[in-house]
Amino acid sequence: MGGFFENRRVVVTGGAGFLGNFVIAGLKKRGCKNILVPKIENYDLVRLDSINRMYDDMKPDVVIHLAAVVGGIGANQKHPGEFFYKNLMMGVQLIEQARLRKIEKFTAIGTICAYPKFAPVPFKEQDLWNGYPEETNAPYGLAKKMLLVQSQAYRAEYGFNSIFLLPVNLYGPGDNFDPESSHVIPALIKKCVDAIERGDDHIDCWGTGKVSREFIYVADAAEGILLATEFYNGAEPVNIGAGFEITIKELVEKIAKLTGFTGQIHWDPSKPDGQPRRRLDVSRAKQLFGFEAKTNFDDGLAETIKWYRSARKTK
């Protein structure tokens, strides 16, 4: 461990967030002495003047761009314009100013939402452009996908070392449990735990439960991002995932069992399911920088449930 990060100044945008906390822990473990986190209250990274001030203040050698405006299907449906604009402007301007300042390396984080709606499963990086993304989160997915176009174009024209990673859905301790904007795992954990506390006999779930998803434990995703930042210097996008899929119905049943919820599960098929299937081909990450997800899914869920229950008690 160590070496690459030890004497470099590393800016982690979104470093105070869910994934950011784990990336920072991983940097510390690697002996990084200069970890710099631009807080949203000090730097609005959608604005060019804020980006320039941040670069002037922090003088990074390496940027890991995790900051994003994100949410589940409901939030994406409510804010397609905001999600498109803010994610695009943040990423595009951060990369452009990094290039102008001759920053050594930029790690851009994309999203599985960038893949076409009907991409063959498992999703391979070379299928990224073979169709339009799933409609409910296309604006967000496409805004992030532009950072791949920019990274490749800047590498070709300017020799700028920007890499692009595509993590699958994250979960784990410290996730966002706000029902307005949370993703599926925290939303389901909250539903089950709340129902147990209230003594409810059922929970309501969106869609049909037939679609599938893949999830990666947040600490594993952070490790993949750090390995790529340290060892990968290529133009091609790389998936960061766990390489398995589970239907939402199976997921709900698993979370109900792990939380101890024994009531009924009511499905609302009038609500959208999102993309039909999601599973990544994870062979490129293993081949290029030796990354493999380590955390067993049941163990990761149990850790997340435990964290949520203890976080509720301390509120």
Task: Give the span between the Cα atoms of 192 and 304, in whole angstroms.
Answer: 13
Provide the residue type at 184 as one letter.
V
215 bridge partner residues: 169
Q: Cis ω on the peptide bond leading into residue 173 (within 30° of 0)?
A: no
Q: For residue 164, how far is the Cα from the chain centroid?
A: 13
**Is 140 designated active site?**
yes
Place of tokens 């599985």: 112
Task: Give the span between the Cα atoms of 184 and 126, in whole angstroms.
Answer: 27
Query: In the 3-class helix/strand/coil scheme, how is 80-122 assigned residue by residue?
Result: HHHHHHHHHHHHHHHHHHHHHCCCCEEEEECCHHHCECCCCCC
Task: Give the span between the Cα atoms of 99 and 56, in whole angstroms.
Answer: 14
Catalytic pick among 43, 55, 115, 140: 140
The HSE-up count of residue 249 (CA atoms within 13 Å, CB side) is: 11
Helix, strand and coil content of the chain, in percent to the nearest 5, comes to 45, 15, 40
Give the residue among 238, 259, 89 at the shortest CA–CA distance from 162.
238
Q: At what angle do helices 18-29 and 218-231 cross, to 10 degrees?
A: 50
According to DSSP, residue 131 is labeled S
Given the DSSP bridges, would you call strands 246-247 and 212-213 parallel, antiparallel or unpaired?
antiparallel
Give the residue among 263, 277, 287 at the shortest CA–CA distance from 117.
277
> Which residues are catalytically annotated?
140
